[in-house]
Amino acid sequence: MREAPPVSPQLTREKNRARSRAMAEAVISAFAETLKIEARKRGGFLTLPDIEELDISFREKTAELTEVFEMSFNDAAREQEELKWDQIKRPAFDRLMVKRFDHMFMVKDREGVPHGTFPRRFLQAFFLTLNMLLGPDAVESFHKRSDKLMERVMKGIIPVDWDLLDQNEEMQEIILDAQLAIALQFADARKRAKWFIQLVNANLAPAAENAAQVEANWEMDHRSFLKLINALLHDLKVASGDAQEWKRLKRRHPDTNHTELSAILEQLS
């Protein structure tokens, strides 16, 4: 996977300014509201001793405010990572495949501890494994179909609205076609799952120097594989259980056997 280009400085400034403004407004609002409440208690006036007493009270809230600010800064760091991923020049097909499980990427909490199933360094291994699973001809076909559709839907508008593209009926057909091709590779689910896990773990991107231990030591196991494959094939599972959706899928793939596909999906659940 290609290295992400630097995030636009202007976009970073705009988001940081909006975040800082929201934080400032929250603090000022809380400060002003407290002053009003205390002033009402004292007949509408505050003396110097009153203000000094309030100052002590505000300082006691330092830890609480620090926690709020720390959460905001962690959100900013996560946002930077998301922006980097958004700017990587990957084909539309790749992006929409990842969209099926990107909610399971590791995210750091306010203490800096990552929580989630997959570190982002897993993506390099995922794409390589997916390409080997589908084969170069199929991957090229999915890329071409997806990119041409993206050009028609977006009409040159940047950044790409991935949600809009994902909801497109033709794009949904491309995704289902790909998911069907993936699922059919798991006729021997146990053997193929073992192959998938081994290939992923052999091709993980190096961990960043400042990566948390859970990220640096992460490897795919059967549990995380099942989470991935179920998210990756979710649309297909829904379609296979819907008579109309299955009819449309069957029209494009007349040789597909519903019973066999259902058995594969059951093994992977």
Question: Please, which pLDDT band fits residue 14 given cuts at 50, 70 and 90?
Answer: low
Residue, of 79 and 170, whose pLDDT is higher: 170
Q: Can you give the pLDDT at residue 188?
A: 93
pLDDT at 72 over 60: no
Q: What is the pLDDT of residues 120-136, one digit of tens each?
A: 999 989 999 999 999 98
Bigger pLDDT: 4 or 242?
Answer: 242
Report, as an integer, the average pLDDT of 205-214: 86
DSSP state of 10: H
CA dihedral 106, 109, 114, 118 (to 10 degrees): -10
Whether the pTM exceeds 0.75: the reply is: no
- Rounded-to-integer distance, Cα 253 and Cα 62, Å: 63
Q: What is the pLDDT of residues 26-42, one digit of tens each?
A: 555 556 566 667 677 77
Residue 5: predicted pLDDT: 42
Q: Which two tokens stand for residue 1?
A: 């996977």
Average pLDDT of the residues in 66-85: 50
CA dist 15 and 79 (Å) reads 9
What pLDDT band is residue 212 in, cutting at 50, 70 and 90?
Answer: confident
Residue 230, C-beta contacts closer than 8 angstroms, at least 6 positions apart = 237, 268, 269
Query: What are the CB-based long-range contacts (under 8 Å, 24+) for 238-243?
Result: 239/176, 240/265
**Residues 153, 164: Cα–Cα separation, whole Å:** 8
Question: What does the pLDDT read at residue 160?
Answer: 86
Token pair recorded at residue 73: 């800064």
Residue 237 has pLDDT above 50, yes or no: yes
Q: What is the per-residue pLDDT across 76-134, written as a single tens digit (0 to 9) for each?
A: 445 454 444 444 457 899 999 999 999 999 988 877 788 899 999 999 899 999 999 99
C-alpha 154/C-alpha 174 separation (Å) is 17
Highest-scoring range by mean pLDDT, 7-11, 49-53, 142-146: 142-146
Higher pLDDT, 243 or 3: 243
